[in-house]
Amino acid sequence: MPLAIADTYTYSIPDSIACLEVGTRVLVPLGKKTITGIVYRIHCENPDETISPDIRLRDIIEVLDEQPIVLPSQLSLWRWLADYYLCTIGEVMAAALPARLIDNDYTARTEVYISLHPRFTDVEQLQPVFDSLKRAPKQQRLLEYFLELSDAFDGAPHIVEQRQLIEHSGESTAVLRTLIEKQILVASHEVVSRIPSYDADIEPAHPLTDQQQRAVDEIRAGFAEQKVCLLHGVTSSGKTEVYIHLIREMLAQGKQVLYLVPEIALTTQLTDRLKKVFGKQLGVYHSRFSDMERVEIYKDLLNSTEPKVILSARSGVFLPFRNLGLVIVDEEHDSSFKQQDPAPRYHARSVAVVMAKAANASVLLGTATPAIESYYNAQTGKYRLVEMSERYAGLSLPRIGLVDLKRQYHRKEMFEHFADPLVERINKQLTEGKQIIIFQNRRGYAPYIGCKRCGYVPKCCNCDVSLTYHKRTNTLVCHYCGYTVSAPQSCPNCQGEWRDFGVGTEKIEDEVTGLFPEARVARMDLDTTRNKNSHQRIINAFARHEVDILIGTQMVTKGLHFNDVSLVAVLNADSMMQSPDFRSSERAFQMLEQVAGRAGRTGSQGEVIIQTFQPDNPLYAYLQKHDYKSFYTAQLGERKTFRFPPFYRLVVLTLKHRDYTRLDTAARELSERLRKVFGNRCSDVIIPPIARVQNMHLRTIRLRIEANASFAQAKAILMQHVRYVQTLPNCKGTVIQPDVDPM
């Protein structure tokens, strides 16, 4: 059942149920409720030895499916996920199945079609009908439109969608109803698919370059050795082309392919490219689709072994593939492959490797900036490393220049947040008709505001964070829980004036409009992309060069391809490196290299300007040389010294409670117990930088286990203590969430 309380439940099968299969949905009683569950196992065992044999189990109420809707391979994957990520199989189920499939309230979409009444067999017979309609011009006109649209008696389509007919004729449905009552037209309901169909012409894939061909050959060789392949290809080396060729081969062998991308990269840029090559064999599984559409893609796969390629964000690993040949994880370093909340807190890359192994399928990871863990696996021979070091068409990688903000501010050679040399470069590019991307990794206008007189800073009432000022909506917003209030005119304490601190994308937009009044400017961040198609609209406008300068958060870094972008500016790179997280350097490197990769993808060489207060940070030297390997080596040294992945595996426990005292007791109790078992592998109680979110106080405890020790055993011991502490009276109600392999 899609629940977090216990793993599985046992019910008896009443005589009224003649046939039951694993993987079918059933209705069962739970307390006073009726719940939908999936049959996980059919057996004759007493579920609990302590239950005496004469206690009767409760009966299954009803079987909902004739055929299983979950395949055995999916159930074993669910089992693996629940065990590895320390959650219940029900939580996995809730994440894995489209909600409508669980609730059983999926309905097929039907359309109404209109056709001519069968009593008419040739055109002549319609003449008396038209005569009879002389006094009813509306009905006459509707019938004329129908004949025009349907080509009745002439060629193929004799039926017309009701909607189309009404739209074209401009007549009402009442008029149509009269014609149906007079037995001139008939209406019929037909089931139609919600999945958009692609009718565009199929184009052949591009021929591969030598470098790409070599990569394809090496990947094939790696697959033959049953190894996961890591394709490390610089930005714009044509990794997508390599994927396309491998996918085509798989489809030709009658196999299915899962193509995973970060959510944000599911733009029409990529889907259009794939549609052209794969046509109807392409399916897109998208969280922006309605749940009904997702059920249809799910059912389609469930009922067929036809060759298909499914493009999806991380949840694609839960689809019912019957004939999987290949899983591609594009931009494999991207942290959006990891689900943070709720459980299962899984990483789609790890799940992909497990699911592919079970299906005897191959796995290809691709990126310009591999995750340290993945590259380590390649270096140690666990994965096969395949490299493409040249950009397509002989283009060079962008030139990366640094601007020392300390010096600029000192010499007063700044305009607001733009150093003079940057302003100069932007002006030059604009005169040459080029496009510019400006990267600022904070949304809103100012991260916080404070009173000029008394220093008061508005904070969220649910979380320990300051509220971010949004000028466009004149609101103060909590970026943790979404709490929003309209911004007060002045300080509520002393009526003093506000001053804003820090800078977000909105403020940058204002500065850009002031600095470059002629330029057409757009902004892409969470706030401008809330509507269904707004993200797409901004990208399309920029791709068509209707916008000169695009300002954005990390959304602009991912997998986009624009022809005329010659300059990428990073306004303040330091904030990315300041977080205490052990991954902050890795993330900063990846993000900067990726955002730089948007520059100069056709024609002239691209240029990147990074503004920073620490131009001596060694990370920039690696970046300027596009030297991933040296960056990796340096990082690996740090990871070893400070006992982090890939040398250690981590579990972070987050403890939550409304009651501060109980939380504190539980955290200390748990950490003390764990330290007795695990010694210094277990941390003390950690107070997170933001110690209260949505009225829940937070504490964390971190456990690290040597990579060569038994992780499963360590996790089992860990969970025993977690469960024990949750039963202690003075810790009651503490929520404890394990996060395995945290990002």
Q: Give me the residue label for tokens 């039951």.
A: 20
**Of positions 162, 209, 468, 671, contacts ligand ADP by CB under 6 A:** 209
Which partner from the list Zn ion, ligand ADP, none does 507 bind, CB cut-off 5 to 8 Å by kind? Answer: none
Q: Which residue is nearest to ligand ADP (CB)?
A: 238
**Of positions 480, 582, 613, 647, contacts Zn ion by CB under 5 A:** 480
Q: Is 590 in the site for ligand ADP (CB under 6 A)?
A: no
**Of positions 195, 481, 691, 743, contacts Zn ion by CB under 5 A:** 481
Which partner from the list Zn ion, ligand ADP, none does 483 bind, CB cut-off 5 to 8 Å by kind? Answer: Zn ion
Residue 629 or 640 having the CB closest to ligand ADP: 629
Which partner from the list Zn ion, ligand ADP, none does 208 bind, CB cut-off 5 to 8 Å by kind? Answer: ligand ADP
Which partner from the list Zn ion, ligand ADP, none does 702 bind, CB cut-off 5 to 8 Å by kind? Answer: none
Residue 26 or 460 having the CB closest to Zn ion: 460
What residues from 406 to 465 belong to the interface with Zn ion (CB under 5 A)?
A: 460, 462-463
Residue 392 or 628 having the CB closest to ligand ADP: 392
**Of positions 24, 162, 212, 281, contacts ligand ADP by CB under 6 A:** 212
Q: Is 589 in the site for ligand ADP (CB under 6 A)?
A: no
Q: How far is the CB of 536 from ligand ADP (least distance, A)?
A: 18
Contact 497, 490 (CB under 8 A): yes
Amino acid at 620: Y
Q: How far is the CB of 460 from Zn ion (least distance, A)?
A: 3
CA dihedral 683, 340, 554, 628 (to 10 degrees): 60
Q: How far is the CB of 221 from ligand ADP (least distance, A)?
A: 20
Q: Is 225 exposed, middle or buried (0-12, 13-18, 19+ CB in 10 A)?
A: exposed
Check residue 361 and report its DSSP letter.
-
User: Distances in Å between the alpha carbon of 420 and those of 53, 501, 520, 551?
Assistant: 83, 22, 21, 18
Q: Is 237 in the site for ligand ADP (CB under 6 A)?
A: yes
| 3 state DSSP class of 362 | strand
Q: Is 235 in the site for ligand ADP (CB under 6 A)?
A: yes
Q: Is 233 in the site for ligand ADP (CB under 6 A)?
A: yes
> Residues near 371 by Cβ (< 8 Å), separated by ≥ 6?
332, 333, 349, 586
Measured CA to CA, the distance from residue 519 to residue 442 in angstroms comes to 22
Q: How far is the CB of 246 from ligand ADP (least distance, A)?
A: 13
**Of positions 2, 238, 283, 645, contacts ligand ADP by CB under 6 A:** 238
Measured CA to CA, the distance from residue 710 to residue 723 in angstroms comes to 20
Check residue 382 and report its DSSP letter.
S
Amino acid at 252: A
> Residues near 22 by Cβ (< 8 Å), separated by ≥ 6?
39, 40, 41, 42, 68, 72, 75
User: Distances in Å between the alpha carbon of 693 and those of 12, 462, 684?
Assistant: 43, 6, 21
What residues from 265 to 294 belong to the interface with Zn ion (CB under 5 A)?
A: none
For strand 362-367 and strand 324-330, is the pairing parallel, antiparallel, or unpaired? parallel
Binding mask 160-199 for ligand ADP (x = CB under 6 A): ----------------------------------------
Q: Is 236 in the site for ligand ADP (CB under 6 A)?
A: yes
What residues from 550 to 579 belong to the interface with ligand ADP (CB under 6 A)?
A: 561
For strand 324-330 and strand 256-260, is the pairing parallel, antiparallel, or unpaired? parallel
Q: Is 347 exposed, middle or buried (0-12, 13-18, 19+ CB in 10 A)?
A: buried
Q: How far is the CB of 242 from ligand ADP (least distance, A)?
A: 8
- DSSP characters for 29-90? EETTEEEEEE------S-S-TTS-TTSPPPBP-EE--SS-SS-HHHHHHHHHHHHHTTS-HH
Q: How far is the CB of 299 from ligand ADP (least distance, A)?
A: 32
**Of positions 456, 483, 613, 678, contacts Zn ion by CB under 5 A:** 483
Which partner from the list ligand ADP, Zn ion, none does 260 bind, CB cut-off 5 to 8 Å by kind? Answer: none
Range in contact with ligand ADP (rule: CB under 6 A) among 20-28, 203-211, 321-329, 354-362 = 203-211
Binding mask 515-554 for ligand ADP (x = CB under 6 A): ----------------------------------------
| Side-by-side strand order, sheet with 109-116 | 160-161, 109-116, 185-192
Measured CA to CA, the distance from residue 80 to residue 91 in angstroms comes to 13
Measured CA to CA, the distance from residue 112 to residue 316 in angstroms comes to 33
Residue 455 or 603 having the CB closest to ligand ADP: 603
Q: How many residues bind Zn ion (CB under 5 A)?
A: 7
Does residue 196 have a cis peptide bond before it, meaning omega lies within 30 degrees of 0?
no
Q: How far is the CB of 597 from ligand ADP (least distance, A)?
A: 7
| Token pair belonging to 60 | 């299954």
Residue 83, CB-side half-sphere exposure with 13 Å CA sphere: 10
Q: Is 538 in the site for Zn ion (CB under 5 A)?
A: no
Q: Is 241 in the site for ligand ADP (CB under 6 A)?
A: yes
> Residues near 445 by Cβ (< 8 Å), separated by ≥ 6?
468, 469, 470, 471, 472, 500, 504, 506, 507, 510
Residue 212 or 590 having the CB closest to ligand ADP: 212
Q: Is 362 in the site for ligand ADP (CB under 6 A)?
A: no
**Of positions 206, 338, 668, 681, contacts ligand ADP by CB under 6 A:** 206
Which partner from the list ligand ADP, Zn ion, none does 703 bind, CB cut-off 5 to 8 Å by kind? Answer: none
Chain Cα centroid distance, residue 242: 23
Which partner from the list Zn ion, ligand ADP, none does 481 bind, CB cut-off 5 to 8 Å by kind? Answer: Zn ion
Residue 116 or 595 having the CB closest to ligand ADP: 595
Which partner from the list ligand ADP, Zn ion, none does 655 bind, CB cut-off 5 to 8 Å by kind? Answer: none
Which partner from the list Zn ion, ligand ADP, none does 561 bind, CB cut-off 5 to 8 Å by kind? Answer: ligand ADP
Which partner from the list ligand ADP, Zn ion, none does 554 bind, CB cut-off 5 to 8 Å by kind? Answer: none
Which partner from the list ligand ADP, Zn ion, none does 462 bind, CB cut-off 5 to 8 Å by kind? Answer: Zn ion
Q: How many residues bind ligand ADP (CB under 6 A)?
A: 14
Q: Is 742 in the site for ligand ADP (CB under 6 A)?
A: no
Measured CA to CA, the distance from residue 550 to residue 530 in angstroms comes to 17
Which partner from the list Zn ion, ligand ADP, none does 466 bind, CB cut-off 5 to 8 Å by kind? Answer: none
In this structure, the number of other CB atoms found within 10 A of the CB of residue 226 comes to 11
Measured CA to CA, the distance from residue 357 to residue 481 in angstroms comes to 39
The 3-class secondary structure across 80-114, one letter per residue, is: HHHHHCCCCHHHHHHHHCCHHHHHCCCCCEEEEEE
Contact residues toward Zn ion (CB under 5 A) are 460, 462-463, 478, 480-481, 483
Contact residues toward ligand ADP (CB under 6 A) are 206, 208-209, 212, 233, 235-241, 392, 561
